[in-house]
C-alpha cells in the first residue's frame, strides 16, 4: 500500500483531480479553483485515499506494462510530480533501475489546467524524495532535477515516461535537446498527448515508430503513445 503524508496528499490532489472526493468537487465548483486549492483542499479528503491512489496508479501501469522494455537500468520521468508511478516501476523491475525524475519545484497560487509552454507547477521535489524513500526506493536510485535549473545527465535512458504531463500539458520540444544527449534509438518513450493540441502523426518527425495504445475520453481527450527510434539528427 502506498504511504502518503499530509503534504503529499495535498500535492497529489492538485496533480490528480480524479482523486478528489465528491464533496471536494462540489466545493471546487462552488468556490472556484483558487479558493479551493489554496484554502479548502485539505478538507473532506476521501477516507483511505492511499487505497484510491494505489488503484489509480496500478491501473496506469496496467495500460502500459506490455510496452515497457524487458530490462531498464535507467528510467526518466518527465513531469514526475510525486513520482508515484516510479514506485510501481521499481516493483516491476525488482528494485534495479536508476530513476531520473524531472519537474518544477514550486506550487503556483493560480491553478490552471490546459496546454502551455510556460506551464504551472504543483509540486515540491523534497516531497517527491520523501514519498519514494518511504515506498521502497533507495536513496542511491534517485536522481531528482528541478527543470528550472540546468540539467546534465550522462547516462543513457532505457525508458522515458511522462503521464499527463509532457505532450499533454506542455510541448514535447521543451525536452528535445536533453533527449538528444541521453537517449538513443533503442530508448522507449511512453507519454500522453491531448487531442486538440497534438496528434500522434505529429511525432513522426521525431520518431520512426509511433503508435497509440490507450485512449481516455474526457474534457482533455487523452491518447497514450509508444515511440521508439528517436531521430537524433533533427
- pLDDT tens-digit readout, 84-119: 999 999 999 999 999 999 999 987 666 566 666 666
Which of 176, 169, 173, 174 lies closest to 120, judged by CA?
169
**CATH numbers and ranges of domains, the chain:** 63-230 (3.40.50.150)
**Which stretches of the chain score pLDDT less than 50?**
none
> Mean of the per-residue pLDDT values for the chain?
92
Q: Beta 142-146 vs 98-103: how paired, if at all?
A: parallel
pTM: 0.92
Measure the CA–CA gap between 96 and 98, rounded to whole angstroms: 7
Under 8 Å CB-to-CB from 79, ≥6 apart: which residues? 102, 103, 162, 163, 164, 165, 166, 169, 170
Instruction: Check if the beta carbon of residue 73 is closer than 8 Å to that of residue 96.
Output: yes
Amino acid at each position: 500500500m502506498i504511504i502518503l503524508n499530509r503534504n503529499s496528499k495535498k500535492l497529489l490532489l492538485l496533480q490528480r483531480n480524479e482523486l478528489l472526493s465528491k464533496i471536494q468537487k462540489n466545493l471546487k465548483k462552488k468556490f472556484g479553483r483558487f479558493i479551493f486549492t489554496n484554502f479548502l483542499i485539505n478538507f473532506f479528503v476521501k477516507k483511505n485515499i492511499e487505497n484510491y491512489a494505489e488503484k489509480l496508479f496500478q491501473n496506469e501501469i496496467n495500460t502500459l506494462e506490455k510496452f515497457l522494455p524487458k530490462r531498464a537500468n535507467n528510467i526518466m520521468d518527465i513531469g514526475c510530480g510525486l513520482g508515484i508511478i516510479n514506485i510501481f516501476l521499481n516493483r516491476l523491475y525488482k528494485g534495479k533501475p536508476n530513476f531520473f525524475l524531472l519537474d518544477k519545484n514550486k506550487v503556483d497560487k493560480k491553478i490552471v489546467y490546459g496546454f502551455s509552454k510556460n506551464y504551472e507547477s504543483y509540486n515540491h521535489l523534497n516531497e517527491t524524495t520523501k514519498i519514494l524513500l518511504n515506498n521502497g526506493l533507495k536513496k542511491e536510485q534517485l536522481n531528482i532535477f528541478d527543470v528550472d535549473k540546468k540539467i546534465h545527465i550522462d547516462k543513457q535512458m532505457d525508458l522515458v515516461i511522462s503521464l499527463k504531463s509532457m505532450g499533454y500539458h506542455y510541448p514535447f520540444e521543451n525536452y528535445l535537446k536533453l533527449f538528444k544527449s541521453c537517449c538513443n534509438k533503442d530508448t522507449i518513450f511512453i507519454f500522453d498527448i491531448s487531442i486538440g493540441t497534438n496528434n500522434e502523426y505529429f511525432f513522426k518527425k521525431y520518431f520512426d515508430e509511433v503508435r497509440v495504445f490507450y485512449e481516455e475520453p474526457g474534457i482533455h481527450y487523452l491518447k497514450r503513445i509508444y515511440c521508439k527510434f528517436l531521430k537524433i539528427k533533427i
